[in-house]
């Protein structure tokens, strides 16, 4: 595979962007053949700068829910841009969008729109503290809630004070959660939880209903706020807050990534009990009132509400999981698929430094399938049975190929460094 | 003036948005006749939901620099949207945009793109701490650097720890700055400065060159990083970092609002000395790699580089300042215009609770001129001499009208509450 253009761009990027490309879309920790830059997206596919097309199981790390460039969404967005986007005040779309989200999300009585998932999670923390007058926020160990100083996974430039009164518990462990609540004494402001455990580098885990119910009960007992961070999983599991599937209703939920199908908007939703506290904090951003992403969000949400996108992606997910499972078994490869079928994570047994996963992913990429070797993926509604079958067929080939050269695969140097740092 | 639609929308908003509309575009602290919602923007004008047109001197609180809906910018943005926006990696536009900004901003060797001005200022703080291994950040008292917990102007939900190691000095006061640096001992990480003093509710002040040079010298002596927060003033004063006008070059600068003419993108720029530190921190966002705002930014920056937008807006600003000054003098009104002429702030003498300013602004609004009674404004390149003359003509009428009923004007209740809290 030719990567000439991508290499040239990386060379230029290294001069004007720290580390080349920073953040979650950096390929520094991916197999070396993975392209860093793309030129086009359409439906379920992306094209790199050297002209290779890929069926994309990353879906932009979440934002692509209906398919890249969905014309129903983009036409609504463009029509609004032509009228007005970032003005001296919001358009009526801000009210319409808030009404629409409140009508779809059972626990929600109000919405605040922002730009980053991190904006929403940081506001949730602040609202919980404003509501309770207390300080301690409980977060599951290893869970990702954004990249602000209080939650970013990297320590550089972060002070102990940035994490003050953030306490940790083990996801899906009701006893650990109860112990953390007891440890907070009378200073508990809120409990964060992702809908399911979707930490990178490790098997996903569906939520234990006992743990989720315990989180709700502990908040009821203490007056702390329960916060479901639906930024990543939102609208991928249900058309409501994800923990409605367990019958557990939070006080606050955070949203982003997918609800405008890739247009830049995120949100904090809250129940009546948190309305006054949400109104008491000062939060804003230059583009938080922009109309174009709100038009895109309304168009997306109406499709989510009225179409079978959810049932489609779940059916695609089951087809994929079953096909890959058979292919791995046939090749005699220990292969784990975890999490909701429409948000799959693939890991290999006996692969502590991910070298097997990397080799497999590289081989899949060569066959035009973009998968991620250590992060959960996403299915989108633009995928078809034929696309899924293409993944399975490629996997059959790749599993066999990897199986044959297991003893020749070397680990990825950058990832080895990271893993060594994590285990230190 | 009919406000039926606006009132109806406010009523709906109050149910689904905390405080109706939150943040800097809330009209809660503006005269009661100010519309909260708008439907359209074109060039220098905005239209409210009741169909009234206004010449808009707020320019969306900064983002409108070339005129609302500039087709050169929007066509570039739409063309990119049709190819791909939020993908599984950035497009080559990310490199092109970084190269363009680095070529225009003298101190900059690299760029990180983000969504909010607050993202950029928060990263600047983190980079300064990562670079130096020290903790203390100096900020001018009353300066606005965003709405994250470390800098938001409101205390609700904020802990003492959120502000730990943030120390304050007086803007334009080299002795105050030196004292703050001395107070930081060997723990100084960085000094923040806005290009000029543009705090709300108070006269703007141009930067004292001695103060700016002292800031640079103190950073050189201590190894701390100098950060110019150009989010609000960027590209309004010069085609470079604003302190280049003083011959003072920062290590980091923060950008937002205007450089994509209203499309959602902001940036942290840095010099070589801060590159490794910037590469060591982990920062990211779901939409930070989106291509559409980058296409808009490139189109905008090329226009800024190649057109006379700057000289135009400065000339318009002089025309406005002179005309308003004459009109106020003729009406016998004590009226202060401060700051750069293209970013004017208007305040009245003997107006501690802003009631004169509010009355004048309301009268201007009735005549189709949208001004702000306590926040700096912005001129844009879509304005014409005729527009400015229209402002001056309206002001002549409004000054006379306000002058005649000075003793009948009552203060704004919400603002009185805020001002009482500020002075407490």
Q: Tens of pLDDT along B272-296?
A: 999 999 999 999 999 999 999 999 9
Beta carbons of A117 and B69 less than 8 Å apart? no
Q: Which of B145, B156, B260 to mutate to test the interface with A (most CBs of A within 10 A)?
A: B156
Beta strands at B252-255 and B225-229: parallel, antiparallel or unpaired: parallel
Task: Kindly state the DSSP code that residue B21 receives in the 8-state scheme.
Answer: S
pLDDT averaged over every residue in chain A = 97
Tell me what ipTM this predicted complex has.
Answer: 0.98
Name every chain B residue with its beta carbon within 8 A of the beta carbon of A42: 84
Beta carbons of A16 and B95 less than 8 Å apart? yes
Beta carbons of B283 and A23 less than 8 Å apart? yes
How many cross-chain Cβ pairs, A to B, lie less than 8 Å apart?
364
Name every chain B residue with its beta carbon within 8 A of the beta carbon of A166: none
Here the tokens at position B373 are 């009674």
Q: Is the pLDDT of residue A224 over 70?
A: yes
**Of residues B406, B380, B298, the one with CA closest to residue B69:** B380
**Inter-residue contact A382 to A41 (CB < 8 Å):** no
| A356: three-class secondary structure by DSSP | helix
| Residue A423, CA atoms < 13 Å, CB-side half-sphere | 8
CA-CA-CA-CA torsion sign (B3, B6, B8, B10): negative
Domains in chain A and their CATH numbers?
4-61+308-423 (3.90.1150.10), 71-306 (3.40.640.10)
Option in A88, A147, A150 nearest B56 (CB): A88
**Inter-residue contact A46 to A53 (CB < 8 Å):** yes
**Of residues B87, B407, B340, B142, the one with CA closest to residue A25:** B87
Name every chain B residue with its beta carbon within 8 A of the beta carbon of A37: 89-92, 94-95
- Per-residue CA distances from B322 to A14, B316, B325, B336, B391 (Å): 49, 10, 5, 12, 12
Model confidence band, residue B183 (pLDDT cutoffs 50, 70, 90):
very high
The nearest CA of chain A is from the CA of B69 a distance in Å of 7
Q: Which of B44, B67, B85 to mutate to test the interface with A (most CBs of A within 10 A)?
A: B85
Question: Helix B385-404 vs helix B309-331: angle between axes, to the nearest 10 degrees?
Answer: 20
Name every chain A residue with its beta carbon within 8 A of the beta carbon of B128: 157
End-to-end CA distance of chain A: 37
**Inter-residue contact A253 to A105 (CB < 8 Å):** yes
Cα Rg for chain B, rounded, in angstroms?
A: 22
Q: Which residues partner with B197 through β-bridges?
A: B205
Cα Rg for chain A, rounded, in angstroms?
A: 22
Name every chain A residue with its beta carbon within 8 A of the beta carbon of B89: 21, 25, 27, 35-38
| A398: three-class secondary structure by DSSP | helix
Q: Is the pLDDT of residue A417 over 90?
A: no
Beta strands at A266-270 and A252-255: parallel, antiparallel or unpaired: antiparallel
B130 vs B277: CA distance, rounded Å: 6
**Inter-residue contact A111 to A268 (CB < 8 Å):** yes
Beta carbons of B279 and A18 less than 8 Å apart? yes
What pLDDT score was predicted for residue A407?
Answer: 85
**Inter-residue contact A347 to A377 (CB < 8 Å):** no
| Residue A58, CA atoms < 13 Å, CB-side half-sphere | 24
Q: Which of B15, B18, B276 to mutate to test the interface with A (most CBs of A within 10 A)?
A: B18
Option in A91, A154, A264 nearest B38 (CB): A91
Beta strands at B335-338 and B345-348: parallel, antiparallel or unpaired: antiparallel
- Position of tokens 């053949």? A33
Beta carbons of A84 and B68 less than 8 Å apart? yes
The nearest CA of chain A is from the CA of B216 a distance in Å of 22
At B196-236, the pLDDT tens digits run: 999 999 999 999 999 999 999 999 999 999 999 999 999 99
At B11-46, the pLDDT tens digits run: 999 999 999 999 999 999 999 999 999 999 999 999
The nearest CA of chain A is from the CA of B277 a distance in Å of 8
B333 vs B329: CA distance, rounded Å: 6
């Amino acid at each position: 595979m030719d990567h000439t253009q991508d290499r040239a761009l990386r060379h230029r990027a290294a001069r004007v962007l720290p580390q080349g490309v920073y953040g979650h879309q950096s390929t520094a920790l991916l197999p070396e053949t993975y392209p860093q830059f793309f030129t086009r997206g359409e439906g379920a596919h992306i094209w790199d700068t050297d002209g290779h097309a890929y069926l994309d199981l990353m879906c932009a790390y979440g934002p692509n829910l209906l398919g890249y460039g969905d014309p129903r969404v983009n036409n609504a967005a463009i029509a609004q841009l032509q009228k007005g986007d970032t003005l001296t005040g919001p358009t009526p779309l801000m009210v319409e969008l808030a009404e629409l989200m409140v009508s779809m999300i059972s626990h929600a009585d109000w919405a605040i729109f922002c730009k980053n998932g991190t904006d929403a999670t940081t506001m949730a923390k602040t609202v919980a503290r404003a509501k309770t007058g207390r300080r301690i926020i409980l977060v599951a160990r290893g869970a990702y809630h954004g990249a602000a100083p209080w939650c970013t996974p990297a320590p550089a430039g972060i002070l102990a004070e940035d994490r003050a009164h953030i306490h940790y518990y083990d996801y899906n462990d009701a006893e650990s959660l109860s112990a953390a609540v007891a440890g907070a004494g009378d200073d508990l402001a809120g409990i964060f939880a992702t809908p399911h455990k979707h930490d990178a580098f490790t098997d996903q885990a569906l939520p234990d209903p006992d743990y989720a119910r315990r989180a709700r009960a502990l908040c009821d007992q203490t007056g702390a706020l329960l916060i479901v961070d639906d930024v990543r999983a939102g609208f991928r599991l249900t058309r409501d807050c994800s923990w409605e599937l367990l019958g557990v209703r939070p006080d606050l939920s955070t949203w982003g990534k997918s609800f405008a199908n890739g247009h830049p908007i995120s949100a904090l939703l809250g129940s009546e009990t948190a309305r006054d506290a949400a109104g008491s904090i000062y939060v804003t951003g230059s583009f938080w009132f922009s109309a174009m992403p709100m038009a895109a969000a309304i168009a997306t949400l109406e499709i989510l509400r009225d179409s079978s996108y959810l049932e489609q992606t779940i059916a695609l997910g089951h087809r994929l999981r079953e096909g890959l499972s058979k292919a791995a078994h046939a090749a005699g490869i220990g292969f784990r698929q975890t999490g909701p079928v429409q948000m799959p994570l693939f890991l290999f047994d006996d692969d502590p430094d991910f070298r097997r996963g990397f080799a497999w992913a590289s081989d899949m990429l060569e066959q035009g399938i973009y998968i991620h070797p250590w992060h959960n993926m996403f299915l989108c509604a633009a995928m078809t049975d034929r696309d899924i079958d293409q993944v399975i067929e490629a996997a059959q080939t790749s599993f066999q190929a990897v199986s044959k050269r297991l003893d020749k695969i070397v680990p990825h140097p950058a990832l080895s460094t990271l893993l060594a740092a994590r285990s230190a």
